[in-house]
A and B are shown apart, each in its own frame.
Chain A
């Protein structure tokens, strides 16, 4: 049986550990459960901080189509290849957009198509409906989350998950609480008219945040995601399985 010092040391090394001994200790030690919860919030901020916003991609940002002639200068080589790289970038983008993809982000975006009415709802939804939608997600939204104008419990990849629309200053924001999913690192996406972010929540799976506001940049979407996540109160101890 591990002690509190061992548990916390191991958690600070691997916050996502799924070690059964760690889980067993967490279940019998309220202080370590609270420590886990606080570290989980710290990890979410850490992941956001590490995901530096990047400038718009330059044209010559990927590999050349053919090797440069020997003897050219490094910079000259890239200028010479810029045109072919640009063409290749466009081709790759088309292939990337058209190709088969099955990521969590794809599934979330695909789910949006099934409930277009969610975006236009004005709300606020009654507390009972919100409670039903949240179901077994073991969470609640603090009032500062904003007006919840849509709430449903949706089937998503084999589980029922809360599908909420929160009114933000930038417009409606869809939030899907994906406690059954595992995301190893934060991921931004921009697909089919939706901009959003999948944010891992240690011990609670992940949340997906989407907007249709095309004027928002990645940093602003991240800000909204961080705000939404900050407004979620988890009502159970984090699971070690995520």
Chain B
């Protein structure tokens, strides 16, 4: 009986953890895959794998990097299994916001298109930093890169993105 209660509490705790992280994990997967269906599948499979391996997570504070590691591996597996179809970026971005139309939303729509146009090696660290709140050291660990390499990619990501978005880049530094 006591064991059953403990198991239920464990399930509820992990369930709550998944609930809280799922939106950002889905966004992350979407920015990675550029495909909503693929992103949904990757997140589902990630949560299933996480559930099976939940005993490996000792501290809830470490949950985000733990989930990020799983989701990146799962995405890589998906990519190995099948060649992802080419996605029309205009359609993808337009489908994100049914309420698009206001000037500020138009601005965001253009920026999203620009983000999708960034090379993968620049887009991923940028998403990890800004959306997922990862530090440079955490990004370096996730991507298996040195800290200077991550900083260079983040610099190039913003530099390219600002150019794509029509920002005033006259004061931006050169390479």
Residues of A within 8 A of B (CB): 4-6, 8-10, 12-15, 31, 34-35, 38, 42-43, 45-54, 57, 61-65, 67, 78, 88-89, 91-93, 95-96, 99, 184-185, 217, 219-220, 223, 226-227, 230
Q: Is the CB of A52 within 8 A of B18?
A: no
Quick one: closest B residue to A7, CB to CB?
A: B173
Interface residue tally for chain B (C-beta within 8 Å): 55
CA distance A223 to B105 in the complex (A): 7
Q: Is the CB of A13 within 8 A of B27?
A: no
Q: Does B72 have its Cβ within 8 Å of any Cβ on chain A?
A: no
CA distance A10 to B26 in the complex (A): 30
Number of cross-chain contacts by CB at 8 Å: 128
CB neighbours (8 Å) of A53 from chain B are: 96-97
Q: Does B2 have its Cβ within 8 Å of any Cβ on chain A?
A: no
CA distance A217 to B105 in the complex (A): 14
Q: List 9 A-B contacts (CB under 8 A).
A: A8-B173, A35-B171, A49-B112, A50-B130, A52-B27, A63-B18, A67-B52, A88-B11, A91-B12
Residues of B within 8 A of A (CB): 11-12, 14-16, 18-20, 22-24, 26-27, 30-31, 44, 47-48, 50-52, 96-99, 102, 104-105, 107-108, 111-112, 115, 127, 129-133, 136, 151-152, 154-155, 158-159, 161-162, 165, 167-168, 171-174
From residue A113, how far is it (CB to closest CB) to chain B in Å?
23
CA distance A118 to B113 in the complex (A): 40
Quick one: closest A residue to B7, CB to CB?
A: A65
CA distance A13 to B18 in the complex (A): 30
CB neighbours (8 Å) of B16 from chain A are: 92, 95-96, 99
Quick one: closest B residue to A38, CB to CB?
A: B168
Q: Is the CB of A92 within 8 A of B173?
A: no
From residue B156, how far is it (CB to closest CB) to chain A in Å?
9
CA distance A43 to B30 in the complex (A): 20
Q: Is the CB of B19 within 8 A of A92?
A: yes
A5, A12, A53, A65 — most chain B CB neighbours (10 Å): A12
Known interface pairs A51-B131, A67-B52; 8 further A-B residue pairs with C-beta atoms within 8 A, sorted by A's residue number: A9-B155, A12-B159, A42-B162, A62-B15, A63-B50, A89-B15, A226-B108, A230-B104
CB neighbours (8 Å) of B112 from chain A are: 49, 52
Quick one: closest B residue to A186, CB to CB?
A: B131
Q: Is the CB of B51 within 8 A of A8?
A: no
Residue from B19, B22, B127, B154 in contact with A93 in the complex, judged by beta carbons closer than 8 Å? B19
Q: Is the CB of A45 within 8 A of B108?
A: yes
